[in-house]
Amino acid sequence: MSRVDKTEGSIEKAEAVVDGVDISGHWNRMLEPRWITDYPTEAMDWVTSLDGGESLRACYQCAKCVPVCPVEHVGSYGPRKLMRKVQLGNNLMEDPDLWLCTSCAACLRVCPKEVDMLQIMPAIREQAVLEGHVPPELAKAFENMGRHGNPLGQPSRKRIAWTKGFDVEVPIMSKIKRKVDVLWYVSDYTSYHPRGHDAARAMARVLTRLGIDFAILGQEEKCDGDSPRVAGEKGLFEMLAEENIATFDKYEFDRLVVMDPHAYNAFKNHYPALGGDYNVLHYTQLLVDYIDRMEFSETLDMEVTFHDPCYLGRHNGEYEAPRKLLEAIPGVKLTEMPHYKATGFCCGGGGGGMWLDGFAADHQSERLSERRVKEAVEVGAQTLAVTCPYEPSRFEDAVKSTGNDGSLEVADIIELLDRAMGLSES
C-alpha cells in the first residue's frame, strides 16, 4: 500500500528495498519529487519588512544559539524556535515570546548567519507598542519613564535623597558652576532604590578619597533610555536621550562616568547619532587606573565570583577592568563561574526584563537570576560581585528564593572597594 501525499508526485511506498536496504515507509520519500513546505509567507514577509527585522530570514536552523540562549535553559523559547514559529505563519504581536528575549547578545555571538535578535526584537516590539500589546508591568515602567524620567515613578527631587545626611560632599553641576574632570551619571536604581544607595555612597567616598574632581547632575539627571529602546519604545528612548544630551551640553567635563552598563551602552553607542558624543567610561574603567593610589586598610578574606553584566561584557567587550579591581582587593580570591566573560549568563534584567519578572515567571520554569545564583553557589563563592545597578536587588531576591539566604552575599564592586579601603559605614 502506498500513501499519496497532498503534493502530487510525492509517493511514500510502504514497502521498498533498494540494493538490499529496507527503505520502507517515510525513508523512501527522499527518492520522489516533493514539496517540503507550503507555508504562508506573510508572517515572515512582515517581520523582514521591518527596519531591523531583515536578518530573521537568514536563520537556517543550525541550533548553535540553542545552548547559549539563557531563556532556552528555563523555557521554550530561543531564536531558532522563534524563526520557525514565524516561518509557520505565526504572528508574534500577541505571543509571549516577544517579551522573553533579554537582549543578552549570547546568540549573536555564535550565530553563523548573523541573525540579529538585538535588531529583530526591538523592531517587532515597536509595532506591538504602537498597537498597545505590551505586558502591563512593562507599560507602567514606560509610563513612569515618560512622566517622571525614571522607571520607578519617583519624583526628580528624590534623585538626591541618598546625599541627605551623608558626611561626604557630593557636588552638583548646577550649583558649582565650573568644569569638572568627572561628570558622574548616577543612574536610576543607584539614585532611588534603597539598595542602590549603598553603592552611590560607596562611590562618593571612593572618588573623594582618590581625590577625583567629580560632580553629579542631581535632579537634572534622567533615565538613559537604553532599556526602553530595546523593549520597543524607541520614541521614549529618543525623548530621554535628547533631554539628557541638552543637560550634558550645559556643562563642561572631561569624562562621563556611569555606574550602569545600560547607560554606558546608550551614551557610547547610541547618543552620538543624536548629537551627544562624550568620553564615556564605566566606573570600573575609571578606577582601574587608580589602583596604585588605593590604600587598603582591610583584608576582606572571601571567595568571590563575578557576574559579567551583558551590556558591559558581551555588548561592549569590557571584561578585565572589574576583575583587576577585584584582584587588587586584599584577601579576595576570585573564582570564575562556568559561564563567564563572553559566555556570561544573563541576570534576566536586560531588554525590559527588569520590569517583566512577573510576566517571565508565567512563561519560564525559573528566573534567570535564580539560575545565576545557583551557579555562584556551586563554585563555592561567598560573595557574588556585580557591577550593574539592576543586580544587587535582583540577585538578593534570587538568593532568598533559592534558599541561599545567609550563605551568599551580593555586593557591587564599589562596595567591596569601599569596605577594603576602610571607608564604609558598616
Residues that bind ligand SF4 (CB under 6 A): 59-65, 68-71, 79-80, 83, 101-107, 111, 113, 115, 117
Rounded Cα gap, residues 231 and 238, in angstroms: 13
Helix (H, G, I), strand (E, B) or coil at 284: helix
- In the beta sheet, which residues pair with residue 17? 22
Query: Minimum distance between the CB of residue 61 and ligand SF4, rounded to whole angstroms?
Result: 5
Burial degree of 113 (CB within 10 A; 0-12, 13-18, 19+): middle
The least CB distance from residue 342 to ligand SF4, in Å, is 12
What backbone phi and psi angles, to 5 degrees, belong to 214? -135, 165
Tell me phi and psi for residue 349, to 5 degrees: -90, -10
**Nearest to ligand SF4 of 107, 325 (CB atom):** 107
Based on CB atoms, which residue is closest to ligand SF4, 29 or 113? 113
Q: Are 50 and 123 in contact (CB under 8 A)?
A: yes
CB-nearer residue toward ligand SF4: 82 or 266: 82
CB of 371 to ligand SF4, least distance (A): 12
Nearest distance, CB of residue 73 and ligand SF4, angstroms:
10
Contact 318, 281 (CB under 8 A): no
Q: How far is the CB of 356 from ligand SF4 (least distance, A)?
A: 12
- Of 73 and 333, the one with the shorter C-beta distance to ligand SF4 is 73
391 or 418: CB nearest ligand SF4:
391
Name, in order, each residue with C-beta under 8 angstroms of 202's C-beta and a sequence gap of 6 or more. Answer: 412, 414, 415, 417, 418, 423, 424
User: CB of 360: closest distance to ligand SF4 in angstroms?
Assistant: 11
Sequence-separated (6 or more) residues with CB below 8 Å from residue 184: 203, 207, 214, 215, 216, 257, 258, 259, 283
Closer residue to ligand SF4 (CB): 101 or 241: 101
Looking at the Cβ atoms of 184 and 264, the one nearer to ligand SF4 is: 264
| CB-side neighbour CA atoms (13 Å) of 281 | 19
SS3 276: coil
CB of 104 to ligand SF4, least distance (A): 4
| Residue 289: all three cell numbers together | 587606573
